[in-house]
Structure 1
């Protein structure tokens, strides 16, 4: 597949990967909590600015990897330091660098203990997540994949809620099990081809038996990360106990690593196995959409409700991917971004309420329409987006996924219809009980300028992607067609 050189006079991808790591190490050298906050914000904002040339110089007509950096690492083992992005990874990189300064800002007052260590973990997470989306060598990919495990574990275990030990251990064990299966698949590919260089491994003709076992290992690893039903049980516990920034990173970026892996590796390396085993993935996706929707209806904790809604939303992503239709793939990619924006914003809103009421229970946060009008405006927009109200970003993504599903199998698609209905039911229930329900809510401070600053970009993204998704779709279409053709060629 095509590799296109970096047009910039510096190593753009290495810069945006390792700049947050540099900031994290620098934070450890300075004393003072305010200095740690300021430095984390400066480095994350600088990384956002340095990522913009990637967007402006990216050529959407090319399906191969662009801004490629390629150096020998350990030639004897076939290892390369290889980075590159295409239309699949670029939007996820941009989502990561957008949310990183937002996570710093939302933690400005919420985190009061071990601030330096907290900001260190946030920046280390940013490095690892960008590295996953940019790596073109499997060893490098695996290092970054594992690199996010420790800081995320620490975010939950140190700054989490009352059951943080249980939640962090469950997250660690599930993720570690998935990583073992991922490593098995990588080693199998190396023994087969003698290289870890991903472009040399993609779109090759492997026998079906080999594809089956590699797909199975990949699928378990990525299903845990997404997470798909029935591997989802670690997610609600992790979300409920994690600090707000941890929940935002977890929902908005970490879950996308699983769906990214399905598309990049299951489609590109094991297309025949993906095609033959797709019905299993589709059935599990539909079960996740319906099952999680019903669970959301009974939740009293706002964070737990949003966590289960993530399982349903990611079910739409995997359903769209394994519809093997261009509509479905476009919808899946849009939903990955939409979920990152909307669900991340909802967790931010719950964090804002928790700082004021010290409770995440719906019953303890009623009658907000009377005392927090600016908050209600943002929260209402994000709730409407979450259930796919027309004019918001999730509407377009879910519509495309449903079109892909109907094009593949009309009977199967009919089972998905209750999903958006359930989403509307539980989000409107949440809105009714928090905003419009009369309650004895004491006077609460409305949004501060800092809170408006980190919610506003996400609100703009919700509306912009709802009314004008063509720009985002244009970035990814050539790359999506390449992977779709790989699967269709195996049919």
Structure 2
């Protein structure tokens, strides 16, 4: 009866993008509210989905739509929502709307302001990106999942390549090459599943739990699909595109990349790889756990070595996604629940951290921690306090959302699924616990550099941030090789007195964009059952624990 909601979730942002494409001049004067309206309607639809969802049966697919798509190939437009996909759909629509709030109500100051290069193209890109992200979480057909999985690559490529920093071209090319190559391998795995089973229906494949597929084929298919998903996650050592992409992306690009795009990879493990290929998952799980814990420790050590705030947050995602992959590798309800919880928590917390990093860069025109000079709690107490809150949430303080996912993933490693080497997973648990300690270390070091100490007063850099220069009331990109080279230690690159830069500390648009994230981080930290009650029944079903 409510099958129209998934279609509307895709149709509204797609309609917004198409109208901009077909009538480019019509909406020129209302662009500031155009993106807000379409992303706001999409958010409202996801909240209707949340309210109408039957919480008595979260393991059952709801709001299903199953129509012929390409009848000659047996492909169907099959959409649906269960307890695994519902939180991610709401997270996607929320973060997209908050990005438009941050852009459109941010005035014309810096990278957070709406008056950026090509504003119509920016709104179009974000709306197309939202279509791909939502569609990935709704798709119940393997090929349809792949199509939506790929749709997001092009808008994110342009988001980094056009609106990014000085190294945007190299970062965007690296992003697209890594993700496209991973997707090719994943497509081969999906086609192998199709050839063996004769169906692309994810529901039917999950219910069969690998029946009819030999163990060797399952292992091969799991490795191929897993590689494609691991690139997007990203898993060490396939992560090297991520720090450059995050560092060069604009604030909205970093928020959506960390908050949603990384979750598409981990979601694929829960929706496709583990339930469809259980024998392949059991065979590869020890290796997946090994790569996960290496990523946890590597990400933490890399964070300790960073000078750039955005780059540090990017490397922290490698570590946090390591906990998610470790939870999946345990193949237990506890571990997979922890992975799914950590997915949502990471999207909220790291999205907030990248919003904060963008705000700091707007004010100081740099994100280099040694250049920032410290003392933010003294000069910008509100901004410094929110940064402290987001940091301690990310390091896993009990009572905040970041704690539960990591704790459950480690607990799942303590008692992995039958058939997995318990001694090996106990080692993974110890190494993961060490990584959690290192996570606390690098966030505390960052806070000591940025928020504590005595503030330094210097002359502000009069130029806009990154490589943007004003021209005709818009900002256009200056080629990087034409920009004068300025030493980080020169007075022009040092932060100005806060009173000169921003007497109001946190601006109204920033407060509107960040408050929902702060509230949800507290809510899920104090009441984790809200998420766990949604994910536990479908996790048991995908593992075959109950019918």
Aligned to 1:449: 508
- Report the equivalent of 1:80: 76
C-alpha RMSD of matched pairs (Å): 1.5
Query: Is 1:159–1:243's contact at 8 Å kept on the other side of the alignment?
Result: yes
Equivalent position to 1:147, from 148, 151, 156: 151
Alignment deviations for residues 163-198 of structure 1 (CA, whole Å, 9 cap, x no partner): 111100000000100110121122222222333222
How far apart, in 2, do the equivalents of 1:277 and 1:350 lie? 37
Matching residue of 1:396: 404
Residue aligning to 1:237: 244
Deviations along 1:249-300, one digit per CA (max 9) or x if unpaired, are 1111111111111111111111001011111000110000011101101110
Counterpart secondary structure, 2:235: coil
Which residue of structure 2 aligns with residue 4 of structure 1? none
Normalised by the size of structure 1, how large is the TM-score? 0.95
Classify the secondary structure of the residue corresponding to 2:307.
Answer: coil
The residue number in structure 2 matching 1:15 is: 8
Q: Which residue of 2 aligns with 1:384?
A: 392
Distance 1:316 1:34 in 2: 46
Q: 1:64 aligns with which of 43, 57, 60?
A: 60
Map of 2:33 onto structure 1: 38
In structure 1, stretches of 5+ residues that fail to align are 1-6
Confirm or deny: 8 A CA contact 1:106 1:244 kept in the other structure: no
Measured at CA, do residues 33 and 422 of structure 1 come closer, stay the same or move farther in structure 2, by a change above 3 Å? farther
Aligned 1:20-31 pairs, distance under 5 A: 20-28=13-21, 29-31=23-25
Instruction: Please identify, of 138-147 and 86-95, the stretch whose mean Cα deviation from structure 2 is larger.
Output: 138-147
After superposition, the C-alpha distances for 1:78-112 in whole angstroms (9 at most, x for unaligned) are 01111001111111101001100111122334251
Contact 2:218/2:279, CA 8 A, preserved across alignment = yes
Which residue of structure 2 aligns with residue 283 of structure 1?
Answer: 290
Name structure 2 gaps, 5 residues minimum: 417-424, 458-496
Q: Retained in 1: the 8 A contact 2:202–2:272?
A: no
Aligned length: 481
Deviation at 1:201, TM superposition (A): 2.3
Larger Rg: 2
Higher mean C-alpha displacement, 187-196 vs 244-253: 187-196
- Does residue 478 in structure 1 map to residue 486 in structure 2? no
SS in 2 for 1:436: coil
Report if aligned partners of 2:379, 2:455 keep a CA contact under 8 Å in 1.
Answer: no
- In the TM superposition, residue 30 of structure 1 has moved relative to its aligned partner by 4.3
After TM superposition, give the deviation of residue 377 of structure 1 in Å: 1.9
Q: Check conservation: 1:320, 1:329, Cα contact below 8 A.
A: yes
TM-score under structure 2 length normalisation: 0.86
Given the alignment of the two structures, is residue 344 of structure 1 paired with residue 332 of structure 2, yes or no?
no
1:200 is displaced (CA, Å) by 2.4
Equivalent position of 2:381 in the other structure: 373
Deviation at 1:132, TM superposition (A): 0.5
Secondary structure, aligned partner of 1:175: helix
Tell me what 1:437 maps to. Answer: 453
The equivalences for 1:409-424 within 5 A come to 409-424=425-440
- The answer to whether the aligner puts 1:47 opposite 2:51 as a matched pair is no
Greater per-residue helix proportion: 1
The question of whether the paired residues in 2 share the 8 Å contact of 1:367 and 1:436 is answered with yes
Quote the Cα distance in structure 1 between the aligned partners of 2:219 and 2:427: 27
Is residue 346–residue 402 contact of structure 2 (8 Å, CA) maintained in 1?
Answer: yes
CA 1:350–1:279 in structure 2 vs 1: closer, same or farther (change >3 Å)? Answer: same
Query: What displacement does 1:27 show?
Result: 2.9
Task: Tell me the secondary structure at the aligned position of residue 107 of structure 1.
Answer: helix
Query: Counterpart of 1:167?
Result: 171
Partner Cα separation in structure 2 for residue 129 and residue 199 of structure 1: 20
1:127-276, aligned counterparts within 5 Å? 127-202=131-206, 203-205=209-211, 206-276=213-283
- 1:397 Cα deviation after fit: 1.5
Check the 8 A contact 1:37/1:119 in 2, yes or no.
no
